[in-house]
Amino acid sequence: MTANELREKFIEFFVSRNHKEISGKSLVPENDPTVLFTTAGMHPLVPYLLGEPHPAGKRLVDFQKCVRTGDIESVGDPSHLTFFEMLGNWSLGDYFKEEAIAMSYEFLTSGQWLGIDPRRISVTVFAGDDGVPADEESAQVWQRVGIPRERIYFLPREDNWWGPAGETGPCGPDSEMFYDTGKDACGPECRPGCGCGKYFEIWNDVFMQYNKKADGTYEKLARRCVDTGMGIERTSAMLQGKKSVYEIEVFAPVIAAIENVTGRRYGEDENPDRSIRIIADHVKASAFMLGDEADIRPSNIGRGYILRRLIRRASRHGRKLGKEEAFLAGPAEVVIGMYGKYYPVLAQKRQQILDELSGEEARFLETLRKGEHEFEKLLPNLMKNPQKTIPGRVAFRLYDTYGFPIELTEELAAENGMGVDRRGFEEAFARHQDLSKQGAEKTFKGGLADNSEMTTALHTATHLLHKALHIVLGDHVRQMGSNITPERLRFDFPNSEPLTQEQIARVQDIVNQQIQADLPVKMEVMSLDEAKKAGAFAFFGDKYEEQVKVYSLGDFSKEVCGGPHVEHLGVLGKFVIQKEQSSSAGVRRIRAVLER
**Residue 441: is its pLDDT beyond 50?**
no
Q: Is residue 77 part of a domain?
A: yes
Mean pLDDT of 369-385: 87
Greater model confidence, 389 or 583: 389
Spatial distance between the Cα atoms of 526 and 552, rounded to a whole number of angstroms: 13
CATH number at residue 533: 3.30.980.10
Task: State which of 246, 275, 296 marks the end of a domain.
Answer: 246
Mean pLDDT of 331-349: 95
Check if the beta carbon of residue 66 is closer than 8 Å to that of residue 83: yes
The predicted structure's pLDDT at residue 593:
94
The answer to whether residues 233 and 352 belong to one domain is: no
The predicted structure's pLDDT at residue 451:
67
The predicted structure's pLDDT at residue 540:
46
Which residues lie closer than 8 Å to 449 by C-beta, 6 or more apart?
A: 33, 166, 455, 483, 484, 485, 486
Share of the chain above pLDDT 90, in %: 59
> In this predicted model, what pLDDT tens digit does every residue of 535-590 receive, in sequence order?
888 754 445 677 888 999 999 999 988 778 899 999 999 999 999 998 777 889 99
> What's the number of domains the chain is made of?
4
- Quickly state the pLDDT bin for 318 (edges 50, 70, 90): very high
The answer to whether residues 116 and 182 belong to one domain is: yes
Q: Is residue 462 part of a domain?
A: yes
Q: Is residue 351 part of a domain?
A: yes
Residue 412 is part of which domain span? 385-443
The answer to whether residues 463 and 497 belong to one domain is: yes
169, 234, 495, 507, 565 from 575: Cα distances, Å: 29, 49, 22, 10, 16
Spatial distance between the Cα atoms of 35 and 439, rounded to a whole number of angstroms: 14
CB atoms within 10 A of CB 522: 14
- Quickly state the pLDDT bin for 452 (edges 50, 70, 90): confident
Q: Is residue 433 part of a domain?
A: yes
**Residue 31: is its pLDDT beyond 70?**
no
The answer to whether residues 16 and 136 belong to one domain is: yes
The answer to whether residues 99 and 209 belong to one domain is: yes
- Quickly state the pLDDT bin for 450 (edges 50, 70, 90): low
Task: State which of 443, 462, 489 marks the end of a domain.
Answer: 443
Q: Is residue 231 part of a domain?
A: yes
The answer to whether residues 62 and 203 belong to one domain is: yes
The answer to whether residues 508 and 426 belong to one domain is: no
The answer to whether residues 333 and 282 belong to one domain is: yes
> In this predicted model, what pLDDT tens digit does every residue of 419-440 receive, in sequence order?
999 999 999 888 876 665 454 4
Check if the beta carbon of residue 172 is closer than 8 Å to that of residue 210: yes
Mean pLDDT of the chain: 89
- Quickly state the pLDDT bin for 232 (edges 50, 70, 90): very high
The predicted structure's pLDDT at residue 272:
93
- Quickly state the pLDDT bin for 113 (edges 50, 70, 90): very high
Q: Is residue 378 part of a domain?
A: no
Greater model confidence, 490 or 450: 490
**Residue 166: is its pLDDT beyond 70?**
no
Q: Is residue 380 part of a domain?
A: no
- Quickly state the pLDDT bin for 77 (edges 50, 70, 90): confident
Task: State which of 216, 246, 276 marks the end of a domain.
Answer: 246
Spatial distance between the Cα atoms of 110 and 481, rounded to a whole number of angstroms: 44
- CA geometry: angle 382, 385, 387, nearest 5 deg: 125
The answer to whether residues 565 and 416 belong to one domain is: no
The answer to whether residues 207 and 70 belong to one domain is: yes
- Quickly state the pLDDT bin for 212 (edges 50, 70, 90): confident
**Residue 347: is its pLDDT beyond 80?**
yes
